[in-house]
Structure 1
Amino acid sequence: MIGSLCTGYGGLDMAALSVLGGELAWVADPDPGAAAILAYHHPTVPNHGDITTADWYEAEPVDMLTAGFPCQTVSLAGTRAGLVPGAASGLWAEVARAVRELRPSLVVIENVQGLLSAKADRGDVGVGPGAQDLDEATGRPLALRALGAVLGDLAGLGFDAEWTSMRASDVGAAHQRTRVFVLAWPAHPEGPRLAWPGLPGRPARHGAAAEDPDRAARRERRQPAPGQAEGGRARADARGRGGTPAADPDPGGRRTHQPLLRPGQPDPGRGPAASPGGGTDWGPYAPAVRRWSAVLGRPAPGPTDAAGRLNPVFVEWMMGLPPGHVTDVPDLSRTAQLKALGNGVLPDQAAAALRLLLERATAPAAGEVAA
């Protein structure tokens, strides 16, 4: 079962379901536009709304928790206030609270590239005790970065993690849209690797989470996730072995990515056909549009509407969503459509990142033979 925080239009959940299977137990997003999209696609799935007021002890237990928490104050296009209390991206603290109270067996997190460089507020806590971590001018610890805070909080909760950054263009999209992805799981004293049903690695059980102070009080309220050990202490190290992909995502044409979404039918009535050679002159962007059209199996809609404004249907296509996933939702204004699409993640991109992180997390340790 999957619980989803800051769900938006559900792109991260689409990726998780496609890679690992399962079922969406509940979502949590108070934004009216996002709530309308989620109710349209998942009419029987509860929406817990505002995560700052949710009681996760009372929520249905889940095996996996996903979260694409707000990016406005860590984004390169935003205020750069960072991961600090009171800022939009400070909602990470509420995501961490949900992890602590729900104790899922997997956590999947997505955010913008700015997470790598934006600051985080942890008082006088720096990135480490070594001299190389001190500001040469002041002698004080260097500022803790937002991703470091996320990984450190997960480690403090007893979770190991892998992270990576990935561009949308790495899966064929016609734009870059780099995003950071984190996969975390309860640490286990026998080693940091993830074991999950159907994946390589230690097949006997999931990693056992470090015991937390609140867990005993809620044992009467909920059962542990299937296969998750009740006890066991582990030293989480929140490994962050990620990096930016190579400059050429498809050297020599050896692309191995398979699209998450099956090719769909062209969508009549959604603006003029605009594949290269059609009614729109894409100029230098024609090869990128042609590539993404081939991945999705349908031509690009017109980039503008009859009034010359940005066409939400075109943005929906750029995000690799099924036709109408956002734009067919009844009574959803153009502004709300563009807001939801602008805040979302490409399902194909998230799925590719999740596969990569799962491969790293389940790889045999050095000197160890795979099961």
Structure 2
Amino acid sequence: MHSPIFSHTIAPITTPHTNNAPASQHSDITHDCITRKSERVKKPPAYLKDYHCMTTHTSHSSNVANSNSLYPISQHLSYDKLTPKYKSLSLAITSNQEPSTYEEAEVYMKIPPGLAVSQPGLVCKLQKSLYGFKQASRQWNIKLTQTLVDAGYKQFFYDHSLFIKKQSKSFTAILVYVDDLVLTGNEIGEINSIKQDLDDKFKIKDLGDLKYFLGMEVARSNSGIHIYQRKYTMDLLRDFGYLDCKPLSTPFDYSQKLSKESGTILTDNTVYRQLIGRLLYLTNTRPDISYAVGRLSQFLNCATTSHLQTAFCVLRYLKGRPATGLFFSSTSNMHLTGFADADWATCADTRRSVSGYCFMLGNSLISWKSKKQTTVAKSSAEAEYRSLAVATCEASWLSFFKTVIHDMRKQFFPSSLE
């Protein structure tokens, strides 16, 4: 059931008395009812909470949907081609609003040993996050690592966040990010066993198949896997009030020469820092904004109005393609291809060049980078060679890692090899 929160309230308004008679003598007199607009705060009805209409037109200053927008987000985001099951999942992810600050979340813990309480059954409410303690993350990582090692897993030498367990005909891998874990393998029994061991020691929550992890959404089909940050992008646009903005076709004016003297220095650069920080995380699945965000991140300590307006242009670009991401084809070959380039003397302050490269495995993009060079190149040819040197290092690492993965496939998944 839901209350009619959009209905208007009709209430009688009494008029002032026009004579000196006591008010009690006029208590039986009825006056005409005058309609008035309710002062009650309007909210979207509860039965629409699972639909995207609650968030597509939300502005930064109000939570009320704005249906008069000239550029609604519905023109650039559609769920029509999704299956009913995945469409329901996408809408559920969108409607779930996670707390943005520690004050918005309530965290409780068991009574620590040695603390006397007045009655049993009480718990402690944390006033400060445990992650604020300097050794908290280190101690947690040590305990989790020891638990996995005791279960027969080995920490991958080239990536300490990866744990691997190899048996005669089974292979299981666990990828760790703080207290979030991703499990994969070809033996469901071993996967269920390690999940039970972790639940016995840490009380984990099993989220099932990988569909949403650290703000990244994962969609599977027969053609491949698509990884994107649609909800993260929508939240970013909503928090900065750009859900109803006019979209742009490019994230950055590449002819613009940004410098420390561009524009007026911001008196408070908190908004700029927050925006660049969130855009940096978005580059995990959006290589199309990597160059622009890399350029803007150089001015965190001296942000100006020009830098802020350029950062807002990136938001307007994201408005036009909020669900763009990475696609890994299931029919892709194992041929590694790389490209490298350099932009000579891009930085107007230091005259240093920018190196850029990208690598594809078959037709799937797997690695990319855009970064300012450490020294000044005297010519464009020198800048190109420095960019090639950086790309060669990345190619060597990818070739080695590709060999390791190929050996694992050959040992545990021989039927998947061509």
TM-score after normalising by structure 1: 0.22
Q: Which has the higher helix share?
A: 2
Greater length-normalized contact order (CA 8 Å, ≥ 6 residues apart): 1
Q: Which has the higher strand share?
A: 2
